[in-house]
Structures are given as structure tokens and as C-alpha cells.
Amino acid sequence: MMVVGARPQFIKSAPLIKEIVTKWKQICITIVHSGQHYDPEMSAIFFRDLGVPEPSLNLRAGSGSHATQTATIMKRLESSVAKAKPDMVIVPGDTNTTLAAALTAAKLGIPVAHVEAGLRSGEMTMPEEINRKLTDHCSMLLFAPTPNAAGNLKKEGLGKLAYLTGDTMVEALKTAMPAVDRKQSEVLSRFDLLQHEYVLATLHRSSNVDDLSRLGEIVHSLSRVAEKMRVVFPVHPRTRARLADLGLLGSLKKNRVTVTAPQGYVENLCLLSNAGCLLTDSGGMQKEAFMLHVPCITLRPVTEWPETLTRKANQLLTRPEMIPNMVSATAGDEELRNDIRHLRNPFGDGHASARIAGVIQRWVRNHRL
């Protein structure tokens, strides 16, 4: 059983699901959707874009505080796991769904496999850091995407459970690129954009959007950037609600920031691959920018992907008032873009899913005997 529930989980799970469904007939996989992300542009569109089977069960957990959401998923998932008695529960990423499913399975005595294990930012105020650490420590199989992640698991005494597999998002990106190539002209035309002459911005982490004073500063800085360079801002539903509370959506549009709904996977990659730079607080998009050779500015003091910080491919920024200057320097730096293009990809060779499926199949076979 694989349990997913949020946009980044759909992306990183799709290659593994397709690998198992098409090549590993001895593994029967059931997909459960927690309902953590329930807006169509954050959920249904991704199953369509990524070409994976629809979930057999949707728990419809919805939103709420971290405790409420995690508890709701656990309560609604428990009976399904107990009834199905799967040989293993697979949990990807570091969302509330990840932790809720891992705890539920572990309490029922079902082995847990964590895809994208071993990530550490060192910042325990981040909900994602809590989720990923606790999930790792109640899992039986840990699939590390990078040597750095595998090293973190070894330091915490989990090395014997860890497998260095590479990152499944490499496969997702490779699979999507033909569609991106076909569609990028249409997407750029739709938003009236020129290649490398705009900034793509995304925000969703609580440290940026729940602190309304900080969110206001970020909006002010985006408006200043838009005075000199186009800004495209696909707005996460939660972020949109916070902006509406502050009355800032109109301000963004008035200041020539292109505010749009979250885009599908292919459309988002079209916007990212052609951007002058990315301004984000997303972990997954830091990786995608690195793999697409797009300079990235991360609005956080730390990152769980230190591999992306090489040669300023990704730069951390904590002070919103510095956004305009950093964007100006980064988006126009062709030497930086060229440097990124020549960096080695630290996320693996694009065969992570086959490795993960192989380990799962052997583990289940050996432990059934």
C-alpha cells in the first residue's frame, strides 16, 4: 500500500508506481489518497499529468492544524490498513500524510518503507523536518536519494536500514520533458513571456505565509521586482487565503505581478525551465531548478538539499527586503547559468524506482518465508 496526499508526493511517487505496475507483476500495489491536498489543481490534475492510476481510496482528510490533519488521516487510514493487511506501507516525502501513514502502519505492526529518507535541514521548527525524522525512525526500509541523505541516516544509527537509490524525481522530470518541449511555446505565449526574462515565484511554507508581517514584506519585494522584470506567481490555495486576509491579491496584480492558479506538472516545468530565475520555498522545486539549470533563490535560512548550493546554483535568503537585489543579480547572470549547466547531477541516474521496487520485492519475499 502506498499512501500519498500532497502535490510533491504525487510527483515523486509516480515513477515508482509506474515501475511497479508495468514491470513488477509480483507486487500488487494499492494507492491511498489522504486528501491532504484536495483542490483540483493541487491533486486531480497531477494524476492526469503523471499518468498514474487513480487512488482506490480517498480519505478526504482535508485541511486543519498539523495535529488535526495528522490525527484525521490516522483515524481514517487505520481501518483500511487493518483490513487490507498489506505486506508493507510505502510513504514518500515529508508531509503530514507521510508521518500519519507511517505511524498508523507501525502501530499496526506493518513494515514501513520511506521513499526520500534521510533528508535533514537541522531546523526542527519546520513541520517537514519533524515529519521526516519521525518517519525515518519508525521505518524498516529507508530509500535515500543522495549520498548526503544516506550519511545522515548512518549518523542516526539507521545505516543498516538504508539504501542509496537516487531520487525518483529525476525519472519524473525525464519522463515529462518531451511534453514540456512540445508545450513550452504555448505556455509562454499564454502568459506573454519571453525566455529568461521573467521570475517564477512560489510560496507555501508556514514560515513565509503564516507570518502575515513577513508575507507582506515578500509581497512588497515582489512588486518591486515587477517594476523591472516580469514576475509569474502561481499561488498555492493556502497562500491565496493568507493574501486575501491581508487584502494583498489586488496589490500584486496592480503592481504587474502575474497571479495565477497553481499549474499542472508539465505547465509548471515549462514556466520553470524558461525562467530567468526561481524564487521559492519549495524543496522539490529547488531540485527541479538545479536539474533544469535554472538559478534558484530559496526564501529559507536552511535547505534539506545542500547539494543544490554548489556554485551558487541555489542561494538561501532570509530577509525579504533583499529579494529585488538578489533577483536582479541572479536572473541576469549568464555565467552563473552556464556554471549550473556544467554541474554534476547529485540526484542519481534515473533508475531509482527500479532499485526501490527490487529492494521491496526481496524484503517482502524474505520476510514472508
The residues annotated with a catalytic role in the active site are 204
Half-sphere exposure of 166 (CA within 13 A, CB side): 18
Number of neighbouring beta carbons within 10 Å of residue 313: 21
C-alpha cell at 334: 549568464
Written as one string, the DSSP assignment of 102-165 is HHHHHHTT--EEEETTT---S-TTSHHHHHHHHHHTT-SEEEESSHHHHHHHHHTT-GGGEEE-
Break the chain down into helix, strand, coil percent, rounded to 5: 55, 10, 35
Question: CA quadruple 27, 30, 36, 37: dihedral positive or negative?
Answer: positive
Residue in 182, 184, 186, 148 with CA at minimum distance from that of residue 164: 148
